[in-house]
Amino acid sequence: MLSLTLTGLKLKNPLMLAAGIMGTTGGSLKRVAESGAGAVVTKSVGAAPKPGHPNPTMVEVDCGYLNAMGLPNPSYKDFQEEIDIAKEAGTPVIASIFGGEPDEFVEVACGLCPDAFELNVSCPHAHGYGTEVGTDPVLVEEITKAVKSAVEVPVWVKLTPNVTDITGIGLAAQQGGADAVVAINTVRGMAIDVESGYPILGNKFGGLSGCAIKPVAIKCVYDLFKTLDIPVIGVGGISDFRDVIEFVMAGAKAVEIGSAVGNNINIFNEISSCMEAFLEEKEWTLNDIYGMAHEV
Ligand code: SIN
């Protein structure tokens, strides 16, 4: 009832693991896949090993988490082993990759064999990467085009909400040949310890995830659905089945779940069951509610 085809990939449900959560090892990705996810996205990997920002890199705040991990990763070079382990679950594995310019993205992409790529042009706090390239529509189009012509699997582009109008960047990704866009990465934010006056994160500022950003993500998905011809994948603040229904009504073909997985790895099975019961009671299919909010 919840199965779908997304950019040519067969998914048993539209609920995917978002990049950055339990995505560093093949073992943890496989565990999430075996816990009911329709697909899993790896932690972002780049061309060279990166230690990330100094601690603290994550703090819980009202309605979510602030993180400034700084794209820590071992590089793509030994990462295919992790992807192969994750693939043992029989669920599509999406590699999240980052770079500072088209050739760097292509180098990373050509060193991996996932079921699809997600291009991270949206991390809000990594110097030379993420939003520093992903807020420039010309660069987003060039990067997308370069990766698209170098690989044979679908290419998704993960967008930042830290722009005035996300649709301009979405259009650039589409123009570059993206098969889908993913909206949204975290919203830039900061927290200060009032006892000392120090910014809490080692990097001083970071990206906000969790319930607080859901309305921001819904608006971005709504606008992208209206503007683009390619599928939009929604992410940001999903913690129960009603959140997923809301994203699909806004125009998300599928969704990714991040912060909420940290508290409950069974969230994929729980949301699937609740969604099926809800749709059955309403006598709707997933397709019936896809973009429903645009019909009014
Ligand atoms: C990080 O590793 O810094 C988070 C990645 C992201 O926000 O895209």
**Would residue 28 count as lying in a domain?**
yes
Domain span at 100: 4-49+69-189+210-295
Pairwise CA distance, residues 171 & 198, whole Å:
39
Catalytic residue among 110, 123, 220, 274: 123
**Would residue 64 count as lying in a domain?**
no
**211 given a catalytic annotation:** no
User: Which atom of ligand 1 is nearest to 53's Cα?
Assistant: 3
How far does residue 87's CA lie from ligand 1's centre (Å)? 23
**Would residue 195 count as lying in a domain?**
no
The answer to whether the CB of 257 falls within 8 A of the CB of 233 is no
Structure-token pair, residue 269: 């099975």
Ligand 1 pocket mutation pick from 43, 185, 205, 235 by most atoms within 8 angstroms of CB: 185
Angle at 68 (CA atoms; ends 62, 74), nearest 5 degrees: 140
CATH number of residue 268's parent domain: 3.20.20.70
**Would residue 24 count as lying in a domain?**
yes
Q: In the chain, where does DSSP find H-type helix?
A: 26-34, 80-87, 102-110, 131-134, 137-150, 166-175, 214-227, 241-250, 267-282, 286-289
Which pLDDT does position 263 carry in this prediction?
A: 85
**Would residue 182 count as lying in a domain?**
yes
* Tens-level pLDDT at each residue, the chain (296 residues): 899 999 999 999 999 999 999 999 999 999 999 999 999 999 999 999 999 999 999 999 998 999 999 999 999 998 999 999 999 999 999 999 999 999 999 999 999 999 999 999 999 999 999 999 999 999 999 999 999 999 999 999 999 999 999 999 999 999 999 999 999 999 999 999 999 999 999 999 999 999 999 999 999 999 999 999 999 999 999 999 999 999 999 999 999 999 999 889 999 999 999 999 999 999 999 999 999 999 98
Pairing of strands 205-209, 64-67: antiparallel
Angle at 245 (CA atoms; ends 9, 19), nearest 5 degrees: 50
Which pLDDT does position 135 carry in this prediction?
A: 97
For residue 54, the number of C-alpha atoms closer than 13 Å in the C-beta half-sphere is 5
Which pLDDT does position 296 carry in this prediction?
A: 84
Whether ligand 1 lies within 6 angstroms of the CB of 235 is answered as no
Nearest CA to ligand 1 atom 6: 123
User: Which atom of ligand 1 is nearest to 186's Cα?
Assistant: 7
How far does residue 20's CA lie from ligand 1's centre (Å)? 7
Ligand 1 pocket mutation pick from 42, 50, 73, 125 by most atoms within 8 angstroms of CB: 125
> Looking at the 3D structure of the chain, how many domains does it have?
1
Q: Which amino acid is at 187?
A: V
